[in-house]
Homo-oligomer: A and B are copies of this chain.
Amino acid sequence: MAASNGSVTTSLVGHSRPSGALQLKSSSNKPNPLPFVALKTGLCYDVRMRYHAKVVNSQSDYTDPHPEDPRRTYRIYKALSDAGLVSQKGASGNADIESELMQPIPAREATEEEVTLTHSKEHWDFIRSTAAMSNVQLLDETRDGDSVYFNNDSFFCAKLSCGGVIDTCKAVVEQKVKNAMAVVRPPGHHAEPCKPAGFCMFNNVAVASRVILKEYPEQVKKILILDWDIHHGNGTQRAFYSDPNVLYISLHRHDGGKFYPGTPFGDYDKCGEGPGEGRNVNIPWPKAGMRDGDYIYAFQRVVMPIALEFNPDLVILSSGFDAAPGDELGGCFVTPAAYGHMTHMLKSLASGKLAVVLEGGYNLDSIATSALGVVKVLIGDAPLPLTNMYAQHEAVQTVDNVIKMQAQYWRCMKIGRTIKDLPGAPAAERLHDVIRRYQAVQLFTSFSMTALPIFRDRVSRSFEDQVLCTPGFQSTKTIVVIVHDPPQFWAEPDSVTGEISLHETYMLDCCRKYVQWAYERGYGVVDINAPEHYTDQDDEGLNPQAAIQDLCIYVWDNYLELSDAKNFAFISVGDASAGVVYLLGHREVRSRMRTSITFAGKQPLHPIMPIMDEFIIDWYYKNSRVYSYDSATSAGADGGGSGFGAGGNGNSSSDRSSGKGPKKKLGNVIKTEIENINELMNGKFEEVTELLEGELEDSDSESEGEIVQVPERKRVKTQESS
């Protein structure tokens, strides 16, 4: 191996000369069959970049050093060295790197001409001016700038970092190396054409891209910049926002625009402009805690399909490692194995021409191990096996948004989406209006139910038929009130066009089964539909939850309370239960209300706010049943709360504890494994109707309000059933 390595070095030193590849062939007695394989991976590292450091101003600068720490590049270099990829000989910098597997790429200062291809002259001049500033001035600039610091060496280091990246990309393009890693600082991707920001002075990757496009017009016509730094590369996006020849793809935390740099510029709907429209892809994670499965999913679904369709001549990777576990700023968990897999995928592009450039990453151990994972794969090692490869709920939704947005620009993203924007199309009617009308017709035909007049202060098609009742319900002794979300639908969209055919679409409406039961028992029935969305004249929706709360109060005040009925039972389905719970808290209903059944399914549970009656909480806990889907008991969640399946529960898991202590406000919660709410209503039909009949019949023999003994028995029942 030693001999082999030695000789490989020999053969590759030749490569550090411009015509290396050619020389190699001529110097060899037969042509090299796989020149790419014979090449080493390049490494650009220069100890002098550590001179850029925050001017020490206070004790805290020692105790709590700035995250963009001069040791960052050294720690990565040391990790490569400890792994035996380079020999460390004093680690005093690039000059004496000796490696059997890697090819040193010397860093040099970028020139004004190069830098100003991307940045304004003013920008250049300002950064240059920092070299001569007094400490006071430096501290002022540091204070006033957008999280960037300066000392008198910053200008030099920024040029060195930028020049190193330029030559790293050149070495890759000229095939002096098969691919390369530039371990440089200060980073660059936040630096905008006219202003430094986010620890960045010159946008190394942007400057290098411009230089390459200018100096290698034949070899490099299209560049892909992939940016997996946890922060959005606002500077890079800005630099190429209207350039069709540079595709910028960024995966980053966006958190609805609250994550640094904290503007909407990093959102998924920012796709470039003018000739560059469709050449910008943002994959904006909504939260911390993103993991391997999420990144691999985004690569499989968006990054690689688009990259293959774009077919670049060079790939530059803006490689921050602040998505790695241990990085406090990033708060994510991308392992070295995943960095390796993503690097491996990118190696398949542009005939392997890949230049990796360090951006952010502030946990010194994390960036070292992450960089090592990347470099090993660059050299040719296989990426490590991945485990727990599940995309989280939020990742799937984010990627879906990106796909929908990019579908207008990339054919590979168009699959399943040939019809766009139909909501704007002629004669489009919201299906929930269509459906409710149909239900009204059915309920009239089957049970002669008719609409109850409801006074409205505004107009919405969604109000029509919203409350339906059996004839003369007000004079019945018992009234069952069913408050429900619109029925559930399920369809099989065409895999190519996304169109939905009627015979592959199903409506599930289990409420009618309960209406029929109540109707046949001679109870009065009131059916209240709670749209998720109101079709308004101006199509500005009401707040659905407020709307159903008002409606329940309205129906109680104007009809139910005034009715002759002695016994009420409420059945709530889905999110509509918010209305019933609200009613219980805001009106005195205990004396006539016998029981409240809630099929919550996956919907979050709503606690009672006892405005009228403090005993209502206890009453509710004793006289209710709240069937709630519990992922923990369900098959889907074997990967723990982590998988997207479990993610499906939303954030309501805290509401899910069975009724104890303060949770009594949620009622008597019964966990169920049945995911689908219609299956749930169907499965519990006998159990629930038996209970209701018990309640509503018993109550006749009881004087009003005497409810203590009833719930006792009911508790027993529920224990069995839960």
Interface of A toward B, CB cutoff 8 Å: 1-4, 6-8, 10-11, 24, 27-34, 36-38, 83-85, 101, 178, 296-297, 300-301, 304-305, 308-309, 311, 341, 344-345, 347-353, 376, 379-387, 389-391, 393, 396-397, 399-400, 411-412, 414-416, 418-419, 422-423, 425-432, 434-435, 437-438, 441, 486, 488-491, 493, 495-503, 505-510, 512-513, 531-533, 636, 639, 643-645, 647-648, 675-676, 678-679, 682
Contact = CB atoms under 8 A, between A and B. Distances in A.
Most-contacted residue by chain B among A37, A382, A643 (CB, 10 A): A382
A502 B533 contact: yes
A400 B495 contact: yes
B422 A506 contact: yes
Nearest to A431: B505
Number of copies: 2
A360 to B, nearest CB: 26
B506 A429 contact: yes
Nearest to A292: B308
19 contacts: A2-B28, A4-B10, A4-B11, A34-B376, A36-B380, A300-B304, A308-B389, A309-B389, A351-B384, A399-B495, A411-B639, A418-B636, A423-B506, A430-B505, A431-B489, A434-B435, A489-B499, A501-B532, A502-B533
A707 B311 CA distance: 58
Given A101-B33, A300-B300, A396 B415 contact: yes
A682 B422 CA distance: 13
Pairs of residues from A and B, 8 with the lowest C-beta to C-beta distance, nearest first: A352-B382, A33-B84, A400-B495, A432-B502, A503-B533, A4-B7, A422-B490, A1-B28
Contact of A428 (B499, B506, B643): B506
A422 B647 CA distance: 22
Contacts of A643: 411
Given A351-B382, A497-B648, A415 B391 contact: yes
Contacts of A389: 305, 308-309, 311, 412
Given A305-B389, A422-B506, 4 more contacts: A4-B10, A344-B344, A426-B682, A503-B533
A610 to B, nearest CB: 32
Contacts of A396: 415-416, 495-496
Nearest to A414: B645
Nearest to A351: B382
A434 B438 contact: yes
B500 A34 contact: no
A387 B313 CA distance: 13
Given A304-B300, A427-B508, A636-B418, A385 B350 contact: yes
A386 B37 contact: no
Contacts of A502: 430-432, 435, 486, 489, 531-533
Contacts of A345: 345, 348
A531 B505 CA distance: 13
A512 B2 CA distance: 83
Contacts of A393: 496
A422 B311 contact: no
A415 B11 contact: no
Contacts of A490: 419, 422, 425, 428, 498-500
Contact of A425 (B1, B376, B679): B679
A391 B414 contact: no
Nearest to A429: B507
Given A296-B308, A503-B531, A647 B496 contact: yes
A337 to B, nearest CB: 10
A500 B491 contact: yes
B425 A508 contact: yes
B438 A648 contact: no
A341 B687 CA distance: 57
Contact of A381 (B36, B414, B501): B36
A7 B3 contact: yes
A297 B413 CA distance: 11
Nearest to A511: B427
A301 B12 CA distance: 39
Given A10-B3, A513-B427, A85 B34 contact: yes
A379 B34 contact: yes
A481 to B, nearest CB: 20
A382 B6 contact: no
A191 B679 CA distance: 46
Contacts of A387: 311
A390 B418 contact: no
A57 to B, nearest CB: 42
Contact of A418 (B31, B488, B503, B645): B645
B512 A427 contact: yes
Contacts of A682: 425-427
A1 B11 contact: yes
Contact of A507 (B101, B353, B428): B428
A396 to B, nearest CB: 5
Nearest to A639: B411
B311 A385 contact: yes
